[in-house]
Amino acid sequence: MKRRFAVAPIVDALLPLLAVVGALLVGAVILALLGANPVEAYKAMFYGAFANKNGLADTLVKATPLLLVGLGIVIAFRAKVINIGAEGQLIVGSLLATYLAVELGETWPPILVAILCLIFGAFAGGIWAGIPGILKARLNVNEILSTIMMNAIAVQIGFFLLRGPMIDPAEVAAGTNIPHSARTPKITDLPRFTDTAKSLGFTESSSDLGLTGFDKELYGLFVEPTRAHIGLVIALLMAVAVYVLLWRTTIGYRIRAVGLNPNAARYAGINVPRYMVLSLSLSGAFAGLAGAVEILGLHHRMFEPLSVSAGYGFSGIVVALFGKLHPLGAIPSAILFGGLLVGGDKMQRAVQVPQVLVTALMGLIILFVVSSDIWSRRRAARRVIVERDDTAGDDNPTTPAKPTAEATL
Amino acid sequence: MSEEITLVAIMIGVAHSGIRLATPYLYAAIGEMFAQRSGVLNLGVEGMMLMGAFSGFYATFQTGSPLLGLVVAALVGALMGLAMAFVTVTLHAEQGISGIGFYLFGLGASSLLFKVMLGSVEGVTGFRSIHLCVPGTEAGSGSCLSDVPVFGEIFLGHNILVYLAFGLIPVAWWFLNKTGWGLNIRAVGQNPEAADTLGVNVSRVRYATTTFGGLMAGVAGASLSIALLNIFQENLTNGLGFIAVALVYFGSWSPWGILAGAMLFSLVNALQLWVQVLGLNIPSDLAVMMPYLLTIIVLAVPFKRARQPAALTRPFERGEN
C-alpha cells in the first residue's frame, strides 16, 4: 500500500505534462490532416520559440502578461470565483496607464510616472473586477456572466476613448484620424534587458567574447538589443508575492478557506462575501497590471482593435490551470505557453499552417487537464475508503465507507 | 417627409431587426437551457456556434444547399456537445473551465479551417427571406404580404430560421413542463440522487441534453452564417454565445423568460444600430455597449426570480452521499 502512494504524487505532478502531450498528439493529427508534417511543424515551433535570442526574447515578452494574468486567475480560482473578465480588466488597466503616461510623462519625474502607471493600471483592473465581485456578493449575480459582459463594455469604452478623448493629436492634425493614442513618452518606457545590461557594465557583444551556440543566444538575450524588457522581473516578483500572500498570510489563508469550503469558512467566522470580492478584485488588479506592463514595456501606445489584450484573458486561465493553480507553478507554465504562442508564428512560416492552431491547442490542453483531474480525485476517494476501513477495524469489515463530496476536493 | 412618419418607420425598422437579431440567441439559449436544467453548465456555446457557423457555411458554399449546411452545422454542434457531455458527465471535469476549453478549441479550430479551406471572406446564398409575393413580382413592389403596413413590415419578410426559432419557444416549454422526458430533465437537475433512486438514468439524461445543447448551438451559428449574414469570418459570433448563456440566467431557466430576454437584448441592439444609421449625436461605441450594460443591470435587479437548478455544475456519481 505504502509503495503505491509514493508513486501517486509523481503521477499527479506529471498529469499536466501528459495533458500537453495528449493535446499535441491531437494537434499532430490535425496537422497531418491539413497535409503538414507534424514533426516539422513542432520542430519549427520549438526552435522558433526557444533556440535563438529573438525567439527567447519574444517568448519571455509573451510570458510576462500571461504570468501576471495567470497569477490573478490563481487567486480567484483558489477562492472558487471564476474570473473570465481578465481581458476587460487588462484593457482598462492599459487604458489608464496610457492616459497617465501621456498626460504626466513630460512633466513629472519619469520613474515616478512609470510606477504610478503600473499602480493605477492595477487599480483600474481591480475596480473593473470589483464591480462583478460586489454584484456577486450583494445581489448574487453570477460572476462568469458579469465578467464577460464587463469585457464587452471595456472594449467599447476603449474604442470610444481612442476615437475621441484619447486620440493621438498628431492624427487629428494630419486629418487621418487613425484611432490610436499618442505614444507614451520614451522616458517612461520600462528598461529593456539590453539597457539594464549596459548600465551594469556589460558592453561586449557575444562575438567579442567568442561565444558560440546556445551560450551566444543566451548572452544575446540578456545583453544585445531584443524586445525583452524588465516587465518579466516584475511578473516574477509578483509570483513570489502571490505565493507569500496565499500561504503565509491570514488573508491568503481565508481566501483559500473560502474556496475549499464556503460553509466551513462561514462557521469559522470568515466574512465569505468580502473575501470573494477581495479575491476577484485582486485577480483583476493583476490583469490590469499586465495591461500597464504591456503598454510601458512593449506597445507604448493604445491602438485599435485593442489587440493589447491578445486573448491573454483566456490564455491566462490555461496558464493558471496548467500551473496547478500555484503561483510558482504558473512561472514555467507561462514560459511554456509564451513559447507556444511565439512558436505558432514560426510554425506558420515554416509549414504554412495558420497560427490559430495554437488557440485550438490551448483549448485542448485545458480539456485534457480538467479531464485528467478525475484520476487524482478517484485516488483521493480510494484513500478515504482505505483509511476508514483501517479505523473501522473488525466491527464491520464488509461495508466500505463511502467517499464524501469533501474528500474529492 | 414629416417627422412623425420617420419615427414610425424607425420603430418598424427596429422591431423588424430586433426579431431578426434575436434568432441566434434563441437557438443557443434554448439548447443551453435544457443542458442547465439537467445540471450541466455549458460555457462552450460560443465555440460550438463558431464550429457550426463555419461547417454550415462551408457545406452551403460547396453544395449551394443551405438546408444541407444547416444539417451539417447541427451535426458538428451535436458532436461537440457530445464531447462536452463526455468530459463533464463521465469524467466529472469542472464544467465552467471545460466550457472555456471548448470555446478556445472552437475559436481556434474554426479560424484554422476557415484560413485553410476558404482563405478569404466569401458570400453564399443562404436561406431566403419569405415575402409571400404575388407570383412574378418582387419584394418592395407593394404586391407582397411583407409590404403590408406595420404587421407585414415587422413580422413578414424574414427567413425560415427566424420563424423556427420563435416556434421553438412554446415547443420547448411544452416538452419541459408537460412530458415525462421534461420531468426527468428537471428532476435530474434539481435532485439527481432522488431521480436516480426512481430509476432515471442521470448520465443518459445529461448526455442527451448537453448533446442537444451543442446541436442547437450549431444551428445558432448556422443561422448567422447562412441565414442572417451569409458570410463567415474569423470569430464571427464575437461573444454572442456567452450572451446566450447569460440569457438563460436572465430568463430564469424558462423558455418564455429567454424569449423576453432575447427580445429585450436584440431590440436594444437594433435600436443602437438605428441610432448609428441615423447619425444621432450619441457615440456609437457607447451605444454598442448598452445591451451588455443592460444585461448586467437586469441580472442584478433583485426581483423575485426562479432559483437556478439545484444541481447545476454538480457532477453526479452513483453511490455518493
Q: What is the pLDDT of residue A405?
A: 38
Q: For the domain made up of B3-120+130-300, give the CATH fold.
A: ABC transporter involved in vitamin B12 uptake, BtuC (1.10.3470)
Question: Does A373 fall in a domain?
Answer: yes
Same domain? A288 vs A184: yes
Is the CB of residue B278 less than 8 Å away from at least one CB of chain A?
Answer: no
Per-residue DSSP letter, B224: I
Q: Which residues contact B238 (CB under 8 A, 6 or more apart)?
A: none
Per-residue DSSP letter, A395: S
Whether residues A367 and B102 touch (CB distance < 8 A) is answered with yes
Classify each residue of A198-228 as buried b or exposed e, where b means 16 or more C-beta atoms within 10 Å of its C-beta. Answer: eeeeeeeebeeeebeeeebbebbbbbbebeb
Q: Which amino acid appears at position B230 of this protein?
A: N
Q: What is the pLDDT of residue A309?
A: 67
Q: What is the pLDDT of residue A399?
A: 39
Nearest to A128 by CA among A305, A316, A280: A280
Same domain? A321 vs A256: yes
Q: What is the pLDDT of residue B65?
A: 93
Q: Which of residues 111-150 of B touch A (CB under 8 A)?
A: 111-112, 115-116
Alpha helices, H only, B198-254: 202-223, 240-250
pLDDT band at A230 (very low <50, low <70, confident <90, very high): very high
Question: Does A50 fall in a domain?
Answer: no
C-alpha B18/C-alpha B12 separation (Å) is: 10
Same domain? A118 vs A235: yes
Percent of chain A, pLDDT > 90?
46
Same domain? A21 vs A66: no
Q: Is A75 within 8 Å of A279 (Cβ atoms)?
A: yes
Averaged pLDDT of chain A: 86
Q: What is the pLDDT of residue A129?
A: 97
Which phi and psi (to 5°) does residue A173 adopt?
-65, -40
At CA A154, angle to CA A151 and CA A158, rounded to 5?
A: 140
Helix (H), strand (E) counts: chain B: 12, 0
Nearest to A360 by CA among B44, B171, B316: B44
Is the CB of residue B91 less than 8 Å away from at least one CB of chain A?
Answer: yes
- pLDDT tens track for A366-405: 899 888 877 777 777 776 666 666 554 444 444 344 433 3
Min Cα–Cα distance to chain A from B139, Å: 36
Residue numbers in B near A159 (CB within 8 A): 285, 288
- pLDDT tens track for A72-102: 999 999 999 989 899 999 999 999 999 999 9
Mean pLDDT of A234-239: 97
**Predicted complex ipTM:** 0.89
Q: Cell 507554465 appears where? A: A333
Q: What is the pLDDT of residue B2?
A: 46
Same domain? A333 vs A376: no
Instruction: Report CA-CA distances (Å) from B318 to A402, B194, B199, B204, B252.
Output: 11, 11, 12, 13, 29
Residue that is last in its domain, among A316, A331, A352: A352
Same domain? A251 vs A378: no
* Dihedral, CA of residue A88, residue A93, residue A94 and residue A95, to nearest 10: 90
Closest Cα in chain A to B235:
A356
Q: What is the pLDDT of residue B147?
A: 76
Highest mean pLDDT among A16-30, A115-129, A373-387: A115-129
CB pairs under 8 A between A and B: 149
Burial class of A320 by CB neighbour count within 10 A (0 to 12, 13 to 18, 19+): buried
Nearest to A229 by CA among A118, A304, A325, A122: A118
Nearest to A182 by CA among A106, A285, A282: A106
pLDDT band at A212 (very low <50, low <70, confident <90, very high): confident
Q: What is the pLDDT of residue B302?
A: 63
Whether residues A366 and B98 touch (CB distance < 8 A) is answered with yes
Domain around A296: 59-192+227-352
Closest Cα in chain B to A164:
B283
Q: What is the pLDDT of residue A222?
A: 84
Residue that is last in its domain, among A311, A334, A352: A352
Q: What is the pLDDT of residue B179?
A: 95
Question: Does A177 fall in a domain?
Answer: yes
Same domain? A290 vs A320: yes
Question: Does A284 fall in a domain?
Answer: yes
Asked whether the bond before A305 is cis by omega within 30 degrees of 0, the reply is: yes
Query: Which portions of chain B are predicted below pLDDT 50?
Result: 1-2, 321
C-alpha cell at B274: 438605428
3-state secondary structure of A72: helix
Q: Which residues contact A150 (CB under 8 A, 6 or more apart)?
A: A85, A88, A89, A128, A129, A131, A132, B296
Residue numbers in A near B232 (CB within 8 A): none
The answer for B238, left when phi > 0, alpha when psi is -120 to 50, beta otherwise, is left
Question: Does A290 fall in a domain?
Answer: yes
Same domain? A235 vs A317: yes
Nearest to B108 by CA among A395, A267, A101, A353: A353
pLDDT band at A4 (very low <50, low <70, confident <90, very high): low
C-alpha cell at B12: 418598424
Instruction: Report CA-CA distances (Å) from B172 to A40, B29, B217, B256, B265.
Output: 50, 11, 15, 9, 20
Element (H, E) at A227: none
Question: Does A48 fall in a domain?
Answer: no
Q: Is B159 within 8 Å of B128 (Cβ atoms)?
A: yes
Question: Does A186 fall in a domain?
Answer: yes
- pLDDT tens track for A263-307: 999 999 999 999 999 999 999 999 999 999 999 999 888 887 666
Same domain? A266 vs A332: yes
Domain count of the fold of chain A: 2
Whether residues A359 and B239 touch (CB distance < 8 A) is answered with no
Same domain? A322 vs A185: yes
Whether residues B285 and A148 touch (CB distance < 8 A) is answered with no
From the list A30, A361, A363, which residue is nearest B102 (CB)?
A363
From the list A139, A366, A405, which residue is nearest B300 (CB)?
A139
Q: What is the pLDDT of residue A321?
A: 87
From the list A145, A353, A358, which residue is nearest B249 (CB)?
A145
Residue numbers in A near B249 (CB within 8 A): 142, 145
Same domain? A28 vs A109: no
pTM of the model: 0.88
- CATH number assigned to the domain comprising residue A314: 1.10.3470
Q: What is the pLDDT of residue A389?
A: 60
Residue numbers in B near A353 (CB within 8 A): 112, 116
Q: Which residues contact B154 (CB under 8 A, 6 or more apart)?
A: B12, B15, B16, B19
Residue numbers in B near A361 (CB within 8 A): 108
Residue numbers in A near B105 (CB within 8 A): 359-360, 363-364, 367
Same domain? A90 vs A131: yes
pLDDT band at A409 (very low <50, low <70, confident <90, very high): very low
Residue numbers in B near A144 (CB within 8 A): 43, 96, 245
